[in-house]
Structure 1
Amino acid sequence: MSPDEVRWRDYQAVLFDLDGVITPTAIVHMRAWAEMFADFLGAHAPQAAPYTDADYYAHVDGKPRYDGVRDFLASRGITLPEGSPADPPEAETVCGLGNRKNDAFNAVLARDGVSAYPGSVLLLDHLATLGLPLAVVSSSVNAPAVLDSAGLLDRFGCVVSGAVAAEQHLPGKPAPDTFEYAARQLGAVPATSVVLEDATSGVRAGAAGDFALVVGVDRGVGRDALADAGADVVVDDLAELAPTAPATPVGGAA
């Protein structure tokens, strides 16, 4: 399917990933992960292969924070105690490392703020004219703070963050459960809902949930990787999915 074949009126809900889809916070996450893992490996496993951006896409991108820690460490043959989410950032546990990364992310967000991709705002504006209910489904516990910083929090009827997933005991991406939960919160079902994702784990979640349409947004993963993961259409920017002319609101003249 090509971007110009997407007909938004055919759907009842639109579910967005956040980082890399609406806001360019992925680069902030990447830097925070890189700093945390570089420090950890340097102190505890200097013989291991260094962390690279390729590791972010292979082991971390789109996953719940502790899953990303666990998966990366496994790729280096390192096992740590699981710990608990209450672990302090200095704890040498899976949760401690995840919390250490989260502190670094929050420091950058508070200092620099974040702005949405212009093309993503263009699509949000178009969907607002159609009256489609929208949700954000993000593995990050910081999703509400990021949306608030970008001035977009009030655009979404539902925000399923990593914290909500934990409260509801929902497995993270690539399982489809968080997207399915968001669709239900909006009064829709997967068969009538659209998923927009930039991570292969998120695209796989959409495909596993049999959503009506899964859009891959290529912010660096690669078009082929997104298509192979199950994306029905791949774009470089969400502006490709917004018409050039204003849409007629639902209930208006055809």
Structure 2
Amino acid sequence: MLEAAIFDLDGLMFDTEPIWVSAWEPAFKEQGLELKPSLVQRFFGMSQSRIDELVAQAYDHDPRAIPAVREHVRIGIDEMLAHGAPKKPGLDELLALLAEKGVPCAVASASPRTLVKMHLRKGDIEAYFSAVIAGDDGLPSKPAPDVFLEAAHRLHAVPVNSLVLEDSPNGILAASAGGFLSVMVPDMVAPTPETRSLATRVCNSLLDVRDLIAQGELG
């Protein structure tokens, strides 16, 4: 029986990843830098501090690199404040089923708390979540399992009976490291052979996850 469900946010609950990805090129262009597209693929699921470290290393600590990252964040947040981000198909149905079954839920996201809370409010789903672990809480970034372990702790659940829902390989690596059940619902990054082997299931949508839980095939 499931004791808890722990949700990533970007790319899993809300279709934010295209917004974040499209903000990288103009941000770096503003600073006179050429974006390295292969670097962006590594950022999914990472905290802002870890992204800062990787960008600084990739650009040999060029003084323009971190300002470019800050500009990227500004562009992305401005876009989401102005237009929001659509919920992923099946999110409402999955949350309703978990509530019906009495399974407590948490968010464990690399995004800052203010942005996480904004999405939950705009999506009218804030009431479903008993805990929020955010990227500015100071915990090690995925693929370390700390954010998921903290979420399970706050929900008084043990990892082996808790389900992590993720769209990124980093998230699945973190869930596996923490001993969680996990489902990957891929967004912009396809599952690798490694993440397929580590995930409990790989699903096409949150509706598929809802169906698996309803049928008793998860937890």
TM-score grouping bracket, smaller chain normalisation: 0.7 to 0.9
Aligned CA RMSD, in angstroms, stands at 2.4
Gaps of 5+ in 1: 1-9, 82-91, 248-254
1:31-180 residue pairs with structure 2 within 5 A? 31-40=22-31, 43-44=32-33, 50-52=35-37, 54-57=38-41, 59-75=42-58, 77-80=59-62, 92=64, 94=66, 96-141=67-112, 142-163=115-136, 165-166=137-138, 170-180=139-149
Larger radius of gyration: 1
CA contact (8 A) 1:174 1:201 kept: yes
- Report the counterpart of residue 190 of structure 1 in structure 2: 159
**Structure 1 residue 51: deviation in Å?**
2.9
TM-score (norm 2): 0.87
Matched, 1:23 2:23: no
**Distance verdict in 2 for CA 1:225–1:21, change over 3 Å:** farther
Partner AA of 1:176 in structure 2: P
**Post-superposition CA distance 1:56-82 (Å, at most 9, x none):** 22x21110123123324434x52246x
CA contact (8 A) 2:143 2:171 kept: yes
Distance in 2 between residues matched to 1:214 and 1:178, nearest whole Å: 14
- Report the counterpart of residue 237 of structure 1 in structure 2: 205
CA contact (8 A) 1:144 1:161 kept: no
**Post-superposition CA distance 1:163-201 (Å, at most 9, x none):** 2x22xxx11111100110011111112122111111111
Distance in 1 between residues matched to 2:193 and 2:119, nearest whole Å: 27
Distance in 2 between residues matched to 1:64 and 1:237, nearest whole Å: 24
Partner AA of 1:70 in structure 2: E
- Kindly tell me the number of residue pairs found equivalent between the two proteins: 213
Distance in 2 between residues matched to 1:99 and 1:229, nearest whole Å: 36
Percent of aligned pairs sharing the same letter:
28
TM-score (norm 1): 0.76
Q: Could you say what secondary structure the match of 1:157 adopts?
A: strand
CA contact (8 A) 1:199 1:226 kept: no
**Structure 1 residue 106: deviation in Å?**
1.5
Gaps of 5+ in 2: none
CA contact (8 A) 2:30 2:68 kept: no
Partner AA of 1:78 in structure 2: D
**Distance verdict in 2 for CA 1:135–1:204, change over 3 Å:** same
Distance in 1 between residues matched to 2:82 and 2:110, nearest whole Å: 22
- Report the counterpart of residue 182 of structure 2 in structure 1: 214
